[in-house]
Amino acid sequence: MVRFVDREEELRALRERLSGENFELIVIYGRRRVGKTRLVLEAVKDVPHVYYLAVEGDNLRHFRETASRVFPEVKYAGENWESLLHALKGRIIIIDEFPNLIKEDPSVLSLFQRAIDTDLLNSKTKLILLGSSVSIMTEKVLSYKSPLYGRRTGSMKLNPLRFFHLREFFPRASWEELLEVYGMTNGIPFYVAQVRLPFWEWLEGELRNPVSFFRDEVDFLLRYEFTETRTYRRILEAIALGRTTPKEIRDFIGMRHSDVTPYLRNLIETGLVLREVPVTEKPNSKRGRYHVADNFLAFWFRFIYPNLSAIEEGGL
């Protein structure tokens, strides 16, 4: 299991809410592998709770079966969300990858709203919703247009580990080695936990490993956010290779007669890309430049993606 590091404030805040007498609807979101599940499970490890990881389909049945194993009385509840949530009234309920429930049935948001308003609001129920799709969590769960708007009692966007906390993973590493690790992992706990020192020796071996997480990780990350990933992948590659203006990006990806602005806007909203302007310019200045916001993505598109064929053939 990944070491639990640099989450003391978040852990303390969660435990405080979970020990309270009031209803709580807590939303926790952040990019894949950042440690959301680990944080929540650490907070509830000594407390009875239901933890359910949502999948792509048949979630109602799977949730009922999961909850029944912890609280057997749930098996007598009707097979609908309101009945199941009523049966778990006063309990701690954790639903991981909540966007999968929304994709399967968008009405689940209204069903949860009704259950909260008519049944759970005056109880001690703690409902925690986690999601790796930043776009879905912000648009469908947190925005004022969401049926759950006004019901949320707390939210948390979980960020990567800070640089100085890498020392807890590598107590004997030099500062240079820590910079190398951070430059590739961006402080994402799962990635940090994979690294071994010396860094470059480990990286060479990892690239030769046929089951390395390097190969498919970016595709998984993009599919959490976007239905069609090819254009976004090309845009990220362009930016990582130094094409930082809309014209340069369009030329690189072959969209000379199309507008890349909507794609760039989506990448900014999901936290994958930043737009920066000189301090002397207005925010809408045409002198703005785009940059990959995540060290891991920048590293992958700059060094791994262009060499995937050679890596597959064992040429690296």
Please name which of 228, 248, 226 lies closest in space to residue 238, comparing C-alpha atoms: 248
Res 314: pLDDT: 65
Cβ 158 vs Cβ 34: under 8 Å: yes
Cβ 109 vs Cβ 102: under 8 Å: yes
Res 258: pLDDT: 73
pLDDT, tens only, 181-227? 999 999 999 999 999 999 999 998 988 888 888 888 999 999 999 98
Taking residue 289's Cβ as centre, other Cβ atoms within 10 Å add up to 15
Res 311: pLDDT: 76
Looking at the structure, tell me whether residues 130 and 243 fall in a common domain: no
Positions of the chain with pLDDT under 70? 1-5, 257, 314-316
To which H or E segment does residue 126 belong? strand 126-131
Residue 255: inside a domain: yes
Which residues make Cβ contacts (< 8 Å) with residue 83, sequence separation at least 6?
A: 77
- Give alpha helix (H) positions in 44-157: 59-70, 81-87, 99-104, 108-115, 134-136
Looking at the structure, tell me whether residues 145 and 251 fall in a common domain: no
Residue 91 is classified by DSSP as: S
Cα separations in angstroms, 6 against 23, 131, 158, 178: 27, 20, 11, 16
Residue 176: inside a domain: no
Res 305: pLDDT: 87
Cβ 33 vs Cβ 189: under 8 Å: yes
Domain boundary among 114, 132, 157: 157
Q: CA-to-CA distance for 93 and 127, rounded, in angstroms? A: 5
Domain boundary among 157, 173, 189: 157
Domain that holds residue 223: 214-312
Res 44: pLDDT: 97
* Strands of 213-277, DSSP E: 273-276
Res 181: pLDDT: 97
Cβ 98 vs Cβ 55: under 8 Å: no
Q: CA-to-CA distance for 180 and 182, rounded, in angstroms? A: 6
Res 312: pLDDT: 73
pTM: 0.91
Residue 132: inside a domain: yes
**CATH assignment at residue 125:** 3.40.50.300
Residue 107: inside a domain: yes
